[in-house]
């Protein structure tokens, strides 16, 4: 059964604005929410700093201090860090080899393809054991 990522329109719009502002560099962040049977519900998308200033056009690494702050905030609000989002400037919204190398199972990985015109595609993926990334459906 295909899993579903519930991403409210306003969080989707915030993410798209960050993605467009960062272009042609990558933008990244975390998703706070709840995991339920068969679906993940995002309560808040949050932007974090990209430590990869040396290759900001095609790499991201979330600042661990930003990660920790987000996880602490999630715990205070009874939420979990349920996913990661990042952008692919001028590349499709599919996981790259670099994405595969660093991925952790259990999270939703939202990828936004972005060009000079803004976000052109938004897709979500989950690492599923040995099978690699499987796409999950994004719904509002």
CB of 140 to other proteins, least distance (A): 23
Q: Which residue, 88 or 123, is less far from other proteins as judged by CB?
A: 88
Torsion, CA 130, CA 122, CA 43, CA 1, rounded to 10? -40
Judged by CB under 8 A, which stretch of 1-9, 10-18, 57-65, 131-139 contacts other proteins? 57-65
106 binds other proteins (CB under 8 A): yes
CA 31 to chain centre: 7
Among 41, 52, 73, 133, binds other proteins (CB under 8 A): 52
5 in contact with other proteins (CB under 8 A)? no
Task: Report the nearest approach of other proteins to the CB of residue 91 (Å).
Answer: 4
Residue environment code for 27-50, b if the CB has 16+ CB neighbours within 10 A, otherwise e = bbbbbbbebeeebbbbbbbbbbeb
Give 99's Cβ-side CA count (13 Å radius).
26
d(CA 43, CA 115): 26
- Give residues in contact with other proteins (CB under 8 A): 26, 28, 30, 52, 55, 57-62, 64-65, 67-68, 71, 75, 80-82, 84, 86-91, 95-96, 98-99, 101-107, 109
């Amino acid at each position: 059964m295909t899993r579903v990522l519930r991403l409210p329109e306003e969080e989707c719009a915030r993410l798209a604005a960050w993605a467009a502002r960062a272009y042609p560099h990558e933008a990244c962040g975390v998703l706070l929410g709840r995991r339920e049977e068969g679906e993940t519900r995002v309560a808040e998308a949050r932007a974090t700093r990209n430590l990869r200033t040396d290759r900001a056009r095609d790499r991201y690494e979330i600042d661990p201090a930003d990660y920790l702050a987000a996880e602490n905030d999630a715990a205070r609000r009874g939420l979990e860090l349920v996913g990661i989002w990042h952008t692919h400037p001028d590349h499709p919204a599919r996981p790259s080899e670099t994405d595969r190398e660093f991925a952790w199972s259990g999270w939703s990985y939202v990828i936004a393809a972005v060009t000079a015109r803004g976000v052109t595609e938004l897709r979500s993926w989950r690492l599923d054991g040995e099978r690699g990334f499987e796409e999950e459906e994004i719904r509002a």
